[in-house]
Amino acid sequence: MMSLRDAALIAQINDLTVPRGQVALWALGQAGFVLKGGNAIAYIDPYLSNSVEENGGPPRRFPIPINPALITNARVVLATHEHLDHTDAATLAPLMAASPSAVLVASLQGRQIALHAGIPGERIITPRLGDCIEIAGLAFTATPAAHYEYEVDADGHSRWMGFIIECNGVTIYHSGDTIIFPELLAALAERSIDIALLPINGRDFFREREGIIGNLWPAEAVELAKSIGARVLIGIHNDLFAGNRVAPGMLFDELDRRAPFMRCHLLQPGELYLYAG
């Protein structure tokens, strides 16, 4: 049965008119987003289950914002890498079944997860770094990421990816999980980015000792957004698990020091952000 929360969020996504030059983003928590521009609807890194906890990891800090089995409007699903909170079989199987025209974009490792979840291979795209692919009203380009290593095979398939997404006249960069390294900066050079979705949960010895691979610190996220000329920075990957986050105020402290007039936001699960230039 569809809950009132699910119904309200799905109705808002379906009913919202997003004119040319605008995009709508709904936060799903962690690195997950719904993106809409014109008639194009994409899901990025949706993690909509309790798989992490069920596999011995920590529990969620907030409830699942939407039941994936009720998502009938997806045309593209982008998964940056194979970690459970980014490529989750328990999310993808019901989501792809409910949206039968959707295609999944995933790494080679993510492709295997999807195949084991029963998603047909012909519905899965494994992009090479730098290739621009157009589907259902949006174009996306896979960009390098390192979590922590930069791992790319001879054919140009990366284990860790971000995406530059061009939709409705707006360009969004979702970094996936990453640190900063030369190949990333080279891939983003001379790209015009409107919105940068960057992790801010950081990394340290004590988390790494527990097997928790970290990401950009808030200062690094601000500097990266500034260096690529992003008009808006949205901090991500800092809300879902109690043991893998930093104080949110750190982002705004670093913003004040390094780029005080950059637009910057942190979104709550289910919250809508409408970008209009």
pLDDT mean for each 10 residues of the chain (277 residues): 80 96 98 97 98 97 96 98 98 98 98 98 98 95 95 96 98 98 96 97 95 96 98 98 97 98 97 95
What counts of helices (H) and strands (E) characterise the chain?
A: 8, 14
**pLDDT for 1:** 58
**pLDDT for 5:** 82
**pLDDT for 7:** 84
**pLDDT for 267:** 98
Does the pTM surpass 0.75? The reply is yes
Q: How far apart are CA 234 and CA 263, in angstroms?
A: 9
What proportions of the chain, in percent to the nearest 5, are helix, strand and coil? Answer: 25, 25, 50
